[in-house]
Amino acid sequence: LAKTTQPISMDSYEGQEVNITCSHNNIATNDYITWYQQFPSQGPRFIIQGYKTKVTNEVASLFIPADRKSSTLSLPRVSLSDTAVYYCLVGDKLGGSQGNLIFGKGTKLSVKP
């Protein structure tokens, strides 16, 4: 499983767009990129998953360049309730994998009024 590197913390203000970048230089061909969000005293919550280019859902967008060595989670117009830890995970979702998620330290996002 590819190792990921992301900033330990980020600060933002309400209404701003937040971009959290994750580096995964050793990503394998079969690997997908997945992001989770964890609020204090709660379990992680799946946000988005992608393989290449761009993926968008009602919560966020995920941008993946052609070399796939990094990815950027984009949160549009954040609010105070987006304050959480965001985890970037890389791994194989096919080939019999049973979801051996490896969580790193994550990025602690603090949104201020």
Partner 1 sequence: DTAVSQTPKYLVTQMGNDKSIKCEQNLGHDTMYWYKQDSKKFLKIMFSYNNKELIINETVPNRFSPKSPDKAHLNLHINSLELGDSAVYFCASSQYPRPYEQYFGPGTRLTVT
Q: Report the DSSP pairing between strands 9-13 and 107-112.
A: parallel
Sequence-ordered list of residues with C-beta below 8 angstroms from that of 54, at least 6 positions apart, any chain: 61, 62, 63, 64
Binding mask 65-94 for partner 1 (x = CB under 8 A): --------------------x-x-x-x-xx
Residue 80 or 101: the one with the smaller Cβ distance to partner 1 is 101
Instruction: Using CB under 8 A, pick the residue from 4, 6, 12, 34 that binds partner 1.
Output: 34
CB contact burial 39-62 (16+ within 10 A = b; e otherwise) = eeeeebeebbebeeeebeeeebbb
Residue 13 contacts partner 1 per CB under 8 A: no
List residues binding partner 1 (CB under 8 A). Answer: 32, 34, 38, 41-46, 49, 85, 87, 89, 91, 93-94, 97-103, 105-106
